[in-house]
Amino acid sequence: MTTATTTSTATTTNKTTTYRIDKAHSEVVFQVRHLLTKVRGRFSAFEGEIVYDEQNPERSSVNVTIKAASVDTNEPDRDTHLRSADFFDVEKFPTLTLKSTRITRKGNDGFDATGDLTIHGVTRPVALSATYLGKAKDPWGNERIAFEAETTINRKDFGLLWNAALETGGFLVGDQVKISLSVQALPKTS
């Protein structure tokens, strides 16, 4: 008697899609201590791509480019100072960039992402804590995905050294800057 054995192989479909960040429904914001409180600001001009593999998120990647001159803290004089050579020096360094180098799953919807952040012509590795917010179709039938991510950097690591000593001790501007990204993205069409 002959016994036939059947081998079943599970097939995994890798669905990797390239998405473009929808600027109208996304934001890049930051906060830093100023004297006693925290000042919040944002960048209004940015673009980017997310290559997302639903089955193997570790194979995903993110690239974001931000126009430094689009910095907005809701105070024109401060924004002019931030654009100057004291801070971003937007004439010499017009963009900030973030390029992921590794993404690791952390729980169901969480990720640890590492990448290279370039500010003021200086590139340093950063670690971001990211959350996948899901996928949905908008009322017009467009598929969207959404993520939030944040990191904290020391601005001095990127050559942003300007500060003013306070009469009572300490400095006017804090060194730690919290950066947060909240993005919706659509599948890229050519």
Give the DSSP letter string of the chain.
Answer: ---------------EEEEEE-GGG-EEEEEEEETTEEEEEEE--EEEEEEEESS-GGG-EEEEEEEGGGEE-S-HHHHHHHHSTTTT-TTT--EEEEEEEEEEEETTTEEEEEEEEEETTEEEEEEEEEEEEEEEE-TTS-EEEEEEEEEEEEGGGGT-----B-TTSSBSEEEEEEEEEEEEEEE---
Place of tokens 């006017």: 172
How high is the pLDDT of residue 9?
37
Longest dimension (CA), the chain: 96
Q: Name the more confident of 43 and 169.
A: 43
Mean pLDDT of 16-35: 94
Q: Per the confidence metrics, is the pTM higher than 0.75?
A: yes
pLDDT in tens, 70-88: 999 999 999 999 999 999 9
Mean pLDDT, range 37-54, rounded to an integer: 95
106, 75 Cβ separation under 8 angstroms: no
CA atoms within 13 A on the CB side of 112: 5
User: Among 116-125, 164-173, 176-185, where is mean pLDDT lowest?
Assistant: 164-173
Model confidence over 114-153: pLDDT tens digits? 999 999 999 999 999 999 999 999 998 989 999 999 999 9
The span from the CA of 65 to the CA of 47, in Å, is 5
C-alpha 138/C-alpha 27 separation (Å) is 19
58 touches 101 (CB < 8 A): no
* 16 pLDDT more than 60: yes
Mean pLDDT of all residues in 102-111 = 91
| pLDDT given at position 55 | 87
Contact 93, 84 (CB under 8 A): no
Cα separations in angstroms, 88 against 3, 67, 133, 170: 74, 10, 31, 22
